Amino acid sequence: MSNIRVEKEPSQDELDRIGVPTWPIWTKEESEFPWTYDSEETCYFLEGDVVVTTDDGETVEVGKGDLVTFPRGLSCTWKVRGAVRKHYRFD
């Protein structure tokens, strides 16, 4: 199990509490690429449609309105089906 955590449509109060509006923004066009997380990443999708497939075959769909945490050490492939714009923070 990859332990990717997805919270659908968190409240603005929750986003403000953890500081999301102050995090940097990352954008990516439609594409597919492998990725390995050297540290835990928490991100909030402002736009996008992504299927993340872990190396063990688990798939997770994420996109606009999702608060997602990817665990340190996770290796996966991102398939960006709709251009991404997200706030992100590495811990």
CATH number at residue 71: 2.60.120.10
Give the other-Cβ count within 10 Å of 84's Cβ: 24
Strand 59-63 to 41-54 pairing: antiparallel
pTM, entire model = 0.95
Nearest partner of 45 among 73, 77, 20, judged by Cα: 20
d(CA 71, CA 91): 10
Q: Which domain holds residue 86?
A: 5-90
Question: In the predicted model, what is the mean pLDDT of residues 31-41?
Answer: 97
Q: What is the pLDDT of residue 1?
A: 54
Total domains in the fold of the chain:
1
**pLDDT tens for each residue of 43-86:** 999 999 999 999 999 999 999 999 999 999 999 999 999 999 99
Chain centroid to Cα 84, Å, comes to: 10
